[in-house]
Amino acid sequence: MNKYLQQLVELSKFDKEIDDFTPRIENVQKTYRVTKEECDAISANIEQLDNEVSDIKVQKSQTNAHIAEFAAKIKDVAKKSGLAKSEKEVKALNLEEEIAKEQLEAANEEIARLEKIIDSKNASKEELVAKKSELEAKLTQIEAEISSELEAIEKERAEVYAQKTKLVGEMNQKILTFYEKIRKWAHNSAVVPVRKQACYGCFMQINDKTFAAVVRAEDIVTCPHCGRILYKENI
């Protein structure tokens, strides 16, 4: 095989290997990312619950203030009742007392209702906090695992890079430019094998004359249909 063609076949192999590292790295990082996102979502939920509970606590303290008012009112009415002179006055005070007692009862019921909501929200929060600490432990574990995995991948990648750099240093500049131009659109299929007399980039049949040139492998031959660089394997 022509030396330049051989170099191109090798170079395209290195380039493909280098590109293949990206999905491998992403795959390793994915587990971490998914768990992290789950953890962040739980943190947001916890914060939301905290905000809701503090809102309800404000409502509760407002209701408590009303309770104090109603209680004072009842006390006041009782005091006035003792001093009432006419029956009409007593009746009016009784009515006032009744209303205040009803309001007091309603406010107490409201407090009970709010406390129930707070309890239920706190219970939900506790569950989330437990789940979050579980996920955090998992994250620490994943982090340790992926860091060694990534290190191994990085080492492999550095080796391929070194091989590529060495090869590129030995290559003809014009051939390199030609290859890079094709690679711009063909990406990792800039240099493709011919199988069953078809280009393995565009899968079109190539004519006998081109095929013969590919088999001879004396020159760099491109596919007449797509322009990719062609080579015959195992020759």
- Long-range contacts formed by 197-206: CB under 8 A, 24+ apart: 199/223, 199/225, 199/226, 199/228, 199/230, 201/226, 201/228, 202/226, 202/228, 206/230
CA distance 93 to 98: 9
CA distance 194 to 201: 9
Min CB(233)–Zn ion separation in Å: 16
Min CB(195)–Zn ion separation in Å: 12
Distance between first and last Cα of the chain: 7
Residue 202 DSSP code: T
Spell out where the chain has E strands: 191-195, 198-199, 221-222, 229-231
Report if residue 39 touches Zn ion, rule: CB under 5 A.
Answer: no
Residue matched to tokens 């009742």: 81
CB of 176 or CB of 202, closer to Zn ion? 202
Pick one of 25, 129, 175, 226: the residue that binds Zn ion (CB under 5 A).
226
CA distance 214 to 8: 14
Q: Quote the tokens at residue 159.
A: 């080796």
Q: Give the range of 40-48, 63-71, 87-95, 223-231 binding Zn ion by CB under 5 A.
A: 223-231
Site string for Zn ion, 193-212 (x = CB under 5 A): ------x-xx----------
Site string for Zn ion, 141-180 (x = CB under 5 A): ----------------------------------------
CA distance 71 to 178: 93
CB of 25 or CB of 226, closer to Zn ion? 226
CB of 27 or CB of 205, closer to Zn ion? 205
Min CB(131)–Zn ion separation in Å: 54
Min CB(230)–Zn ion separation in Å: 7
Report if residue 12 touches Zn ion, rule: CB under 5 A.
Answer: no
Report if residue 223 touches Zn ion, rule: CB under 5 A.
Answer: yes
CA distance 23 to 27: 6
Instruction: Report the run of H or E that residue 174 belongs to, with start and end.
Output: helix 173-186
Min CB(224)–Zn ion separation in Å: 8
The set of residues, in sequence order, having a beta carbon less than 8 Å from that of 225 and lying 6+ positions away, is 199, 202, 204, 206
CB of 92 or CB of 226, closer to Zn ion? 226
Report if residue 67 touches Zn ion, rule: CB under 5 A.
Answer: no
Min CB(199)–Zn ion separation in Å: 3
Report if residue 225 touches Zn ion, rule: CB under 5 A.
Answer: yes
Q: Can you give the binding site for Zn ion, defined by CB under 5 A?
A: 199, 201-202, 223, 225-226
